[in-house]
Chain A
Amino acid sequence: QVQLVQSGAEVKKPGASVRVSCKASGYTLTSYYMHWVRQAPGQGLEWMGLINPSGGSTNYAQKLQGRVTMTRDTSSSTVYMELSSLRSEDTAVYYCARGHSGYYSEFDYWGQGTLVTVSS
């Protein structure tokens, strides 16, 4: 069965960076795009960007351009999301989510979420 298992909760200071991992199993990582979505406490869902695990190409949300980097390691079926220059507004649960079919696609499987807390 398809599973996306994310790394554990993180606490970071303002200005630091965080890297969240998402390990895929039950399917071939390179066959599906992977997206990242975040959710601030009590708020809605915000799309952050996507990575094509096959070639590594990315598409980032404009507001995060320059601070977010998505990478993948096909040998371990894992994708990574790194966010730099953290600020308090980046406190959120971060999810990886698989694109169901092709580039423009809904998200059929989600990771369990990783809470990132930014606090001095």
Chain B
Amino acid sequence: EIVLTQSPGTLSLSPGERATLSCRASQSVSSSYLAWYQQKPGQAPRLLIYGASSRATGVPDRFSGSGSGTDFTLTISRLEPEDFAVYYCQQYGSSPWTFGQGTKVEIK
């Protein structure tokens, strides 16, 4: 099983600032099958990024993903008020599918 470790656990930033979230895998993620999801309280997760760097339909271009192998990054270039949420990475290159523990982006 691939274990995903996200850091930091909490990121305290102000609107307009840049957010950089990290996801490290315990072994190489096959074919960069790495996704990022956003979850707001009381809502289902929303797909943001798949294939490590492809934006899902309707996702603003301030969200970008990068990385390969075992190290991946989600960057939000300029935080908007609606971006404050919890973000999860997920690997889907091997079974079982696994998620990181999440990074909470909160308003400073």
Give the shortest distance, in Å, between B7 (CB) and chain A (any CB): 14
Q: Does B50 lie within 8 Å of A47, measured CB to CB?
A: no
Give how many B residues have a beta carbon under 8 Å from the other chain's beta carbons.
24
B95 contacts partner chain A, Cβ-Cβ < 8 Å: yes
Given contacts A45-B99, A61-B96, contact A106 B35 (CB under 8 A): yes
Give how many A residues have a beta carbon under 8 Å from the other chain's beta carbons.
20
A89 contacts partner chain B, Cβ-Cβ < 8 Å: no
Q: Does A104 lie within 8 Å of B50, measured CB to CB?
A: no
Chain B residues with Cβ below 8 Å from A111 are 44
In the docked arrangement, what's the CA distance between A105 and B99, Å? 13
Give the shortest distance, in Å, between B106 (CB) and chain A (any CB): 15
Within 8 A of B (CB), among A52-71: 59, 61-62
Q: Does B56 lie within 8 Å of A47, measured CB to CB?
A: no
Among B47, B97, B102, the most chain A Cβ lie within 10 Å of the Cβ of B97
Give the shortest distance, in Å, between B93 (CB) and chain A (any CB): 6
Option from A44, A62, A106, A112 in Cβ contact (under 8 Å) with B92: A106
Given contacts A104-B93, A107-B47, contact A44 B33 (CB under 8 A): no
Q: Does A104 lie within 8 Å of B100, measured CB to CB?
A: no
Q: Does A110 lie within 8 Å of B98, measured CB to CB?
A: no
Within 8 A of B (CB), among A23-40: 35
Q: Does B99 lie within 8 Å of A46, measured CB to CB?
A: yes
Give the shortest distance, in Å, between B1 (CB) and chain A (any CB): 8
In the docked arrangement, what's the CA distance between A100 and B56, Å? 10
29 contacts between A and B (CB under 8 A): A35-B97, A44-B100, A44-B101, A45-B45, A45-B88, A45-B90, A45-B102, A46-B99, A47-B96, A47-B97, A59-B95, A61-B96, A62-B96, A95-B44, A95-B45, A97-B44, A97-B45, A100-B47, A100-B50, A104-B33, A104-B92, A104-B93, A106-B35, A106-B47, A106-B90, A107-B45, A108-B47, A110-B45, A110-B46
